[in-house]
Chains A and B, each alone.
Chain A
Amino acid sequence: MLVKLKIKRFDPADSGGKTWWQEYDIDVHPDSTVLDSLIQIREQEDGTLAMRCACRASICGSCGMRVNGSAKLVCKTRMVDVAPNGEQLTIEPMGNQHVIRDLVVSLDTFFSQIKRVEPFLKPSFVPEQGEYIASNKSMENLLTSMNCIMCGCCVSDCTVLEVDANFIGPAALAKAWRFTEDPRDSERDERLKALNDEDGGMWDCTRCMKCVEVCPKGVAPMDRIMELREAAIAAGNTNTSGYRHTESFYNSVKKNGRLDETRLALDSAGWTNIPRLLDLAPIGIAAMRKGKLPPLMPHKSDEHKNVKYLYESVEGES
Chain B
Amino acid sequence: MYEHDVLIIGGGLAGLRAAVEVTRAGVDVAVISKVHPVRSHSNAAQGGINAPLTDRGDKWEGHAYDTIKGSDFLADQDAVEVMSSEAGEAVLELERMGVIFSRGDDGKLGTRAFGGQKVARTFFIGAITGSAILHVLFEQSLKLGLNVYEEWFVTKLIIEDGVCRGVVAIDLKTGEMHTIKAKAVIMAAGGAGRVFEPSTNALICTGDGLSLAYRAGVPLMDMEMIQYHPTTLARTGILMSEAARGEGAYLLNASGERFMEKTAPDYMELASRDVVSRAEQTEIDEGRGIDGNVLLDLRHLGREFIEQRLGYLQEVSVEFLGIDMAEQPVPVQPGMHYIMGGIKTDVNGATNVPGLYAAGECANVSVHGANRLGANSLLDTVVFGRRSGAHAVEYIKGISGHSKVEKDLTAEKTRLQALLDRPKGERVATIRDDMARGMTKGIGVFRDQTSMEGALANLANVKSRIGGFSIENKGKVFNTDLMFGLELEFMVDCAEAVVAGALTRKESRGAHFRTDITERDDENWLKHTLVYKDETQEHGNRVETSDVKITQWEPVKRVY
Contact = CB atoms under 8 A, between A and B. Distances in A.
A35 B190 CA distance: 23
Interface residues of A, number: 58
A139 B100 contact: yes
Given A120-B139, A146-B132, A149-B38, A48 B103 contact: no
A131 B95 contact: yes
Contact of B473 (A47, A61, A130): A47
Interface string A101-139: 110101100000011001111010011011111111001
Contact of B43 (A13, A59, A115): A59
A50 B480 contact: yes
A142 B103 CA distance: 13
B86 interface: no
Interface string A26-67: 000001000000000001101110111111111111100000
Interface string A80-102: 00000000000000000000111
B139 A47 contact: no
B95 to A, nearest CB: 4
Contacts of A115: 142
B190 to A, nearest CB: 11
Contact of A127 (B96, B135, B139): B96
B1 interface: no
Contact of A57 (B102, B316, B475): B316
A150 interface: yes
Interface string A173-190: 000000000101000000
A147 interface: yes
A235 interface: no
B477 interface: yes
A13, A47, A59, A126: most-surrounded residue (chain B CB, <10 A):
A59
Given A47-B473, A60-B202, A55 B100 contact: no
B351 interface: no
Nearest to B98: A121
Given A31-B235, A133-B107, A48 B481 contact: yes
A184 B139 CA distance: 15
A317 interface: no
Given A54-B39, A120-B140, A132 B96 contact: yes
A302 interface: no
B143 interface: yes
A263 interface: no
Contact residues of A: prevailing secondary structure: loop
Interface string B462-482: 000000000111011111110
Contact of A55 (B109, B202, B308, B473): B202
B320 A143 contact: no
Nearest to A101: B478
B429 interface: yes
A134 B107 contact: yes
A197 interface: no
Interface stretch (B123-131, B152-160, B281-289): B123-131
Given A126-B96, A140-B308, A44 B203 contact: no
Contacts of B236: 31, 56
Interface in B290-328: 308, 311-312, 315-316, 319-320
Contacts of A148: 135
A184 B98 contact: yes
Contacts of A184: 98
Contact of A100 (B173, B238, B316): B173
A12 interface: yes
Contact of B102 (A52, A58, A100, A136): A136
A121 B142 CA distance: 11
B427 interface: yes
A76 interface: yes
Contacts of B97: 121
Nearest to B97: A121
B476 to A, nearest CB: 7
Contacts of B100: 139, 142-143, 146, 182
A137 to B, nearest CB: 9
Contact of B477 (A47, A61, A101): A101
Contacts of B238: 56-57
A11 interface: yes
Interface string A6-18: 0000011100000
B320 A131 contact: no
A218 to B, nearest CB: 8
Nearest to B481: A47
Nearest to B479: A50
B204 interface: yes
Interface in B104-141: 104-110, 125-126, 128, 131-132, 135-136, 139-140
Contacts of A182: 98, 100
A149 B472 CA distance: 32
A308 to B, nearest CB: 40
Contacts of A139: 100-103, 125
A76 B320 CA distance: 7
Nearest to A57: B238
Contacts of A78: 319-320
A121 B378 CA distance: 21
A49 to B, nearest CB: 9
Contacts of A31: 235-236
Interface in A150-194: 150, 182, 184
A132 B477 contact: no
A132 B433 CA distance: 48
Contacts of A114: 142
B44 A59 contact: yes
B36 interface: yes
Nearest to A115: B142
Contacts of B35: 52, 54, 60, 62
Contact of A60 (B39, B475, B476): B39
B427 A11 contact: no
Given A55-B202, A142-B100, 19 more contacts: A46-B472, A47-B473, A47-B481, A48-B473, A50-B473, A54-B39, A54-B202, A57-B239, A59-B131, A60-B43, A100-B478, A119-B139, A120-B139, A129-B92, A131-B95, A136-B102, A149-B38, A149-B43, A182-B98
Interface of B: 35-36, 38-41, 43-44, 55, 92, 95-98, 100-110, 125-126, 128, 131-132, 135-136, 139-140, 142-143, 173, 202-204, 235-236, 238-239, 308, 311-312, 315-316, 319-320, 427-429, 471-473, 475-481
9 tightest A-B contacts by CB? A47-B472, A121-B98, A43-B429, A133-B107, A136-B103, A120-B143, A120-B139, A54-B202, A47-B481
9 contacts: A43-B429, A50-B478, A55-B203, A60-B39, A120-B143, A135-B103, A136-B103, A136-B104, A149-B43
